[in-house]
Structure 1
Amino acid sequence: MKTEKALKSKPFPESLKQHWENNDGVDFAIALARLTGWMLQVDWLTGHEHAEIKDMIPVRVYVETNRDIVFDFMGKKSVMAYNQHIIRKIAMKRVKGDKQHIATRCYTEEALRELPLRVRASEHGIEKATAAILANRDFLALIPVRQNPYISGHDASQFSHGNCVPYAEALHDLTGLTPLGIEVSKYSQDCGSKLGFCHAVILHADGNVEDSWGTQPLSVILERFYIEEYQINEQIFLDAKQRQRRDYSDRYQAAYDKALYLLKEHRLNTAE
């Protein structure tokens, strides 16, 4: 069996890699997202983080897990390594004027197809990439299986960043399980996140917690958000819910309604 190191350097035939490189990974990424359910990401060159799409330059399309791991036809890399060794090199060839910052956005396949990318997705190309991925079992074996694929990677990402509180409230209302809020006093590295309220989860009877990515030990959540020192309790959740319902009532209600709709299809309306 090939080693993971070998997969990183040459996971697919050179002819296919060159083809996917030429179309910014669009067909490969869509194929991989369909097969795995993980997030479909686009990196853009921009003058500032909140620029409109029309003012940005596309760099690369790829698939990312919720643990900051990227998978594309070059193999498996951490987000930091991928940015340094792949994205930055492409961006240097396309940089124009003040567009020197990289912005990462998550999309559904439908939304991605409407973006002003350099190359449009091709169903034939997606089918060809799908066949190549399925034939490369070593590559597929590196990709973790999602716990709850009934929630799309895009929706899970949205519920994990920005809408975790309405998601937890919806899950609480369906199951009766206790919602908890996590308040951070120290991160393990400079991740750019603000101290204070960070995330909301649901507590299960066995001590595991649940968010939009599924049920896992609390340690996994802490590692995902680079949390080192924190408090976790129900009051932190209740305070965050009150604050968000007051300040972002329409957005909060929309997220709650969507979470409730998705969860009702797949969860029993009973407490553990």
Structure 2
Amino acid sequence: MLAGHRRQEIAALVRRRGSVRVADLVERFGVSDMTVRRDLEVLAEQAVLLKVHGGATAIGAPVTDEPGFEAKSLVQRAEKEAIAARAAALVAPGTAVAVSAGTTTWALARELLEIPRLTVVTNSLRVGEMFHRRKRADQEVVLTGGVPTPSDALVGPVAVAAIGSLNVDLLLLGVHGMSTHAGFTTPNLLEAETNRALAATARRLVVLADHTKWGVIGVGTIAALEDADVLVTDQGLGEAERALLAERVGDLVIAPSP
């Protein structure tokens, strides 16, 4: 295959998947590691993609870009469900947990419905609605109040004030992006503030983030990578990224393939 044709295919893969790994491209095209890295360098110089350690990602959206809940719920659904099931295994009956807004934590809420004697604090309209519909007698749900965002998170001073009077055993946090220098981030500054308040109430922080969140940066930082006691992700995360995260977070958990 000519270099130009191969680079066109790499660019199409990045647009379709959001990211690619060098090792996968080597196997796919039957060329050397050095050839693939040279292709990525050329495409990065042409602003077609962003070259990262071990591969490349699509050119990022602006740090303030905030897709709506419905749009986000359509992507990586199988991975999010696998992450949710694995994260739910960390929740013991009879504990108090906080659940942030997001599509991965929304998938998690379905798993939490099966755990007895939970107290659930959430700033997610979707999560609150799910628990309200089921109305288990042995579960208590606290909805923070606040102003809704495009991702159906309740944020702002009302939410922060309510959260400040509470204490929970565990925060199960969904994020927009994660990176080495920015940590766990969101494109909404008020949501970042509200999530920081949730983190301050919790004894332990569990972050739920599928592999496409790697290298994505939002304008507001919620926490550093080192603040996560557990990070639950999926098998799409590359080996290099796994090694890097394993050194930074308390415990890196890879959910089994869906």
Give the TM-score taking structure 2 as reference length: 0.26
Name which structure has the greater RCO, CA cutoff 8 Å, separation 6+.
1
